[in-house]
Amino acid sequence: MSKLDTLIDNKLIQNIFVWFILFIILIGGIQSENRIQTALYAILFLLPAIYITNYFVLPYFQKRKTIFFILFILSGTLFTLLPVYVISKSINQPLDVKMFLNLFGFILLAMIFGMTIRIARDSFKRRQEVKEAELKLLKGQLNPHFLFNTLNNLYGLSVVKSDKLPNLMLKLSDLLRYSLYETKESFVSLKKEMSYLENYISLEKLRLEEQADISFSISGILNDKKLAPMLLIVFVENAFKHLAPTEGEKSTVNIDIHISENELVFKCENSFDIHSDKGENLEKGKSGIGLVNVKKRLDLIYPEAHSLKIGKTNGIFSVDLKLSI
């Protein structure tokens, strides 16, 4: 979180900012010889009315609305009588009903304004907490999913006692180190994420070797760019998981990533057997995790800032993703 985000989330700063804006509005709206002093007195009368309403009256809104409205009117009446009484005493005049009614309307509007801000802020905070909880859950699902598939690869090589196994285990060690220690933040360096993809694809090349033609290319400038961690790997992993030759030819996987000033374009294609049942479940996977979760992550992290197209044509499964970064 940046320093600016920390300041924006600070409740004390939020309150000071709102009261400062209200103070400026009052100075502009009050018709008096001493506007600043009058505005300060108005703020002093409004402070207890708004805070007491927000912290002691507003909680009844969800529980018991009748009690809420009774307490709301009583609070408005009490915090109107106090300033009217003080003003009447200061000018040595009896309580003025017209003054009371005018000030009562103003106090009620101020209380409603304060409650609206409180409700909006609490609602925003609640939605953010829901998003963070869901993101943590999704990330927790994706990492074991990747590990499960890779351990299956290791098991297959150990059965045939392949010489590739030691190199494969080193690659896996690097991959797990990244997924365990480098992905705790909401965003990671794009350079590290690309290095992670390269390691994974190198691991798959060692495993498949003569069985598939695999191409991987990155173009553009990666410096100072950031990306949600473990995002693109799901598409790459999915491509290898469902990889199959087409019409007697070798299997193919083509991955291309281009990074421009404000956009990342990711394209991934893999061949699959159109006659296999797997062809009908390319977007789901055995455990139902796969691409379903990455779509949720994209909606949460990059709302209105991404475009995802997934298609199947002539034995080729393709993913075309554009991200604003």
Domains of the chain by start residue, with CATH? 3-125 (no CATH), 163-324 (3.30.565.10)
Nearest CA among 223, 143, 139, 221 for reference residue 186: 139
Predicted confidence at residue 286, as pLDDT, reads 44
Residue found under tokens 């992550």? 297
Q: The tokens 């893999």 sit on which residue?
A: 270
Note the pLDDT of residue 247: 65
SS3 content of the chain, % helix, strand, coil (to 5): 65, 15, 20
For the question of whether the overall pTM of this predicted structure is more than 0.85, the answer is: no
292 vs 186: CA distance, rounded Å: 19
- Mean pLDDT on 4-25: 81
E strand spans, the chain: 188-189, 212-220, 226-227, 251-259, 263-271, 306-313, 316-324
Candidate from 167-176, 212-221, 252-261 with smallest mean pLDDT: 167-176
pLDDT (tens digit, 9 = 90+) per residue, 249-286?
Answer: 789 999 999 999 889 999 999 998 776 655 455 555 44
pLDDT per residue as tens digits for the range 150-170: 777 778 778 877 777 887 788
The band of 26, judged by pLDDT with boundaries at 50, 70 and 90, is confident
- Please give the residue that has the higher pLDDT: either 219 or 181: 219
Q: At residue 301, does pLDDT exceed 60?
A: yes
Per-residue pLDDT tens over the stretch 113-144: 899 989 988 888 878 876 776 676 566 655 56
